[in-house]
Structure formats: structure tokens, C-alpha cells
Amino acid sequence: MRKLSLLFAGALMGASAMSLVYGAPGSTANAAGSETYKQLAIFGDIFERVRAQYVTPPDDKSLVENAINGMLTSLDPHSSYMNAEQAQDMRVQTKGEFGGLGIEVTMENDLVKVITPIDDTPAAKAGVLAGDYIAKIDGDEVRGLTLNDAVEKMRGPVNTPIKLTILRQGADKPIELTVVRDIIKVKAVKFRVENDIGYMKITSFTEKTYDDLENAIDSIKKQVPNDKLKGFVLDLRLNPGGLLDQAVSVSDAFLDRGEIVSTRGRDPKDVTRFDARPGDDIKGKPLIVLVNGGSASASEIVAGALQDLRRATVVGTQSFGKGSVQTIIPLGENGALRLTTALYYTPSGKSIQGKGITPDIKVEQPLPPDLQGRDLTRGESDLKGHIKGADEGSTGSGSAAYVPPDPKNDLQLIYAEELLRGQKTDPAFPPNPDKAVLNQ
């Protein structure tokens, strides 16, 4: 497996990646450096005055960490500093197993905003919903905390309770939920057979994802004879992203040629391309990909590649629109730096940053009565300080991030299955690989 950099949606924790070193000598850089060091001297002066004169003795380590995070969060919502403990937690989480509540979060309006609860975790079982704002943690206000501080407070020993005070759109008053911490074992791929259709849901892109996908495909093939198998549904809804190399491998599982994705850094020459290798694991069987506003980052790479190369038909609503790549730069015993170092582009050469993947067939999923009137829309373009995408328009990115718990009420899934069985027809299905949209 290729170990590359990480893609994140909100505060998805990742694992190790390549360390990048930048810098080039030159008079312009030296001149800029002289002014920069003057500004750093001002910072040093303020730091010493705070240490000496603040009403209560501050913690030096906390001051420095908050200053670093202030610098990084001013760049974009996905860059941040991780101390040694947080960096270790991140490495654990990309293995697909970690301790906590089981929610993907970001910071918005000084509150922790839930991007999505992970399936079958304490948070999901307790009733935490995508779009919820966490205002208090065990009675302590979230305002004034960094995202990392808030995440740290939500972690703790297994089987210990934590009380969350949640602000929810449409609710008359704050909601109090008690969640019992547990080991979060993220099952990267869930699958089942729907009579003559293989259904596979990728929940996140961890180190286990590609292997889990291969196992799912093999199991489905054993359960349904090839002549009876109508095709596959790949469900990427509510998938916040994860490892880039896993997104490439998952895409490659269904492709036997073509570029999967390219990443481009600040230097125009800094372009990395990832191509498919021969071999389609489902042997050309029809494939439909489901996306919605909870489909972000690595899941958008997969959807974009399969869509542009005309290997799959994408059904659902506009995806999240996170088209940036974060590289984890180890800092030894001082933790790690999570820094946005590139943007990624689909095979057609388009950036989905702030725009998202537009489905070939738009199918809205109605909200149940208890959620109607609430804003469940997720989108990168809504995040404060996000990088403006080259193709980002006034409509922005994202859509509702809701999937019914009962498949009988899942209109997007039902539509996909009816397409595969020939009960519905659409010009976008089946797609023609000979008409792939490629970057010229």
C-alpha cells in the first residue's frame, strides 16, 4: 500500500504520512525573513509580558500551543497543531480503532459542530445528530476552547460517562445527553446482499478499508451466482474521508485504466498523479455510487474518479466539497503538524474544493417529521476561512447529510436498486467508459 498524506473532513483524526520539507535560498526570502523576525520579536515581547503581568500565572505550554493553533486555524479549517498525545491518538485512530464517543466534528461559531456521528458508536446510540452544536461538555462551556481542547475533553477512560449540552436546530431548549465512552472500533466496510444486488457501505478510509472492501466483494460473490448478480451499490454517504492511499486503492478496485486523482501543491511543478492498474474486481458489473452532504474528502476522490472515468453512476445529492490534502509532518517528541499542502483534482482536471461532486442523477432524501425544519446541510463552502475553490460558485457545496436508518425508507438506495434491476431507466445509467471525461 502507498502511504501518502491524509484527507480530513472536520476533525477526522488520521495517522502517519510523509514528512515534507520546504524552503529555497534567495535574497527575496532573506529580505522577507528580516521583517518576519521583527514580528516574531513582537510576539516574544507580548509572551513575556503575559507571563509576567497576567492576573494569574499562565501555563507557558498552553500559551505556546494556543498561539500555534491560532496561526494555523487562520489559514484554513483543516490545518492544526497536535501535541505529542494528540499525535499518538491520531496514529491510533487511522488504524480503525480508538477510544471516545464516535463523532466527527469541526469548530463553528465558537462551538463544536457535529459533522456526523459514526455508525454504531456511543454518540450515535445516544441520539447525537449531524448538525448538532455542542455547547457544554460536563457542564463546562465550549466557548473559548480550541477544537483540539474540546476533543480532548470528550476523550477519557472507557465506560466513563460524559454529559453533552447540545443546541439543535428546531429544538426549543438545549438538549442534555449522557454518553458513555467506549472503544470505537470502526468497521470500515459494511456489506449485505439485497437479493440480486451487492450493497457495500464505506464508513471511513482507515488502514483497513481496502482489505475490508476486498473481503466484502468476495463474500457477495460467494452468496450470489455471477449470472444472478445485477450489480453493486457503493454507499459513500456520511463518509467524512480519511487516508488518501486508501481512496486510491478503493477506486482502483473498480478500474483497470485511467488516472484516479492528482494532487497539486503551491509550486506548479508539484503535481502527483495516481493511476489505476489493470484489473476490475467486480469484472465490469454495473456500479452505482451514493453520495450526499456527508460525503467528504477521500469519499469524493472515489466518487469523482468513478464518475469521470464513466465506471459508475453517481446518485444522491451534492457532496461536501472538501478538495484539500492535509499532510502530517512529525515533530518528534513535540507532536505533529497537520498542514494543508495541496488540492486534489478529479481525472477531468476539476477541483471539487467548495463545490463538491454533482451526482449524475439527483435524488433527494426527505426528512422524517421529527427532523423537518432543521438544517442538516453540510458543506465545505460554509466553513469559515475555507480555501476558495477554483470552481466554487455562489451556490457553494454540500447538501443534507441524512440517511434513514431503515433501508425501506431510503429513497436514494431504492432508486439505485431499481436502476440496477431495470425497473427505472436514466440516460446516465449505465455509463459508457469510452466516453470518460479526462483532463487534456
Instruction: Give residue 112's pLDDT.
Output: 94
Domain with CATH 2.30.42.10 in the chain: 100-185
As a whole number of angstroms, the distance between CA 195 and CA 319 comes to 29
Q: Which CATH number fits domain 189-435: 3.30.70.660, 3.40.228.10, 3.90.226.10, 3.40.50.150?
A: 3.90.226.10
Strands 361-362 and 313-316: parallel
Tell me the mean pLDDT in the region 280-293.
Answer: 97
> Which among 113, 208, 322, 355 is annotated as catalytic?
322
> Which among 80, 204, 297, 397 is annotated as catalytic?
297
Active site residue 391: no
Q: How many residues does the chain have?
A: 440
- Report the CATH fold assignment for 100-185: Pdz3 Domain (2.30.42)
Active site residue 322: yes
pLDDT reading at 22 higher than 70:
no
Instruction: Give residue 32's pLDDT.
Output: 55
Active site residue 297: yes
The rounded mean pLDDT for the chain is 88
Q: What is the pLDDT of residues 307-357, one digit of tens each?
A: 999 999 999 999 999 999 999 899 988 899 999 999 999 999 999 999 999
Contact predicate 104/124, CB 8 Å = no
Instruction: Give residue 162's pLDDT.
Output: 95
What burial class does residue 326 get, using C-beta atoms within 10 Å of its C-beta: 0-12 exposed, 13-18 middle, 19+ buried? buried
Residue 106 pLDDT class (50, 70, 90 cuts) = confident
As a whole number of angstroms, the distance between CA 284 and CA 56 comes to 67
Q: What is the pLDDT of residues 346-363, one digit of tens each?
A: 999 999 999 999 999 999
pTM of the predicted model as reported, rounded to 2 decimal places: 0.76
Distances (CA, A) of 376 to 2, 37, 55, 170, 240: 35, 45, 43, 11, 15
pLDDT reading at 2 higher than 80:
no
Instruction: Give residue 401's pLDDT.
Output: 92
Q: What is the pLDDT of residues 222-238, one digit of tens each?
A: 999 999 999 999 999 99
What burial class does residue 272 get, using C-beta atoms within 10 Å of its C-beta: 0-12 exposed, 13-18 middle, 19+ buried? middle
Tell me the mean pLDDT in the region 98-105.
Answer: 83
Task: Provide CB contacts within 8 A for 37, sequence distance 6+.
Answer: none
pLDDT reading at 6 higher than 50:
no
Task: Please report the beta strands in 323-416, taking only residues with DSSP state E, as ranges in sequence order.
Answer: 324-330, 336-345, 361-362, 377-378, 399-400
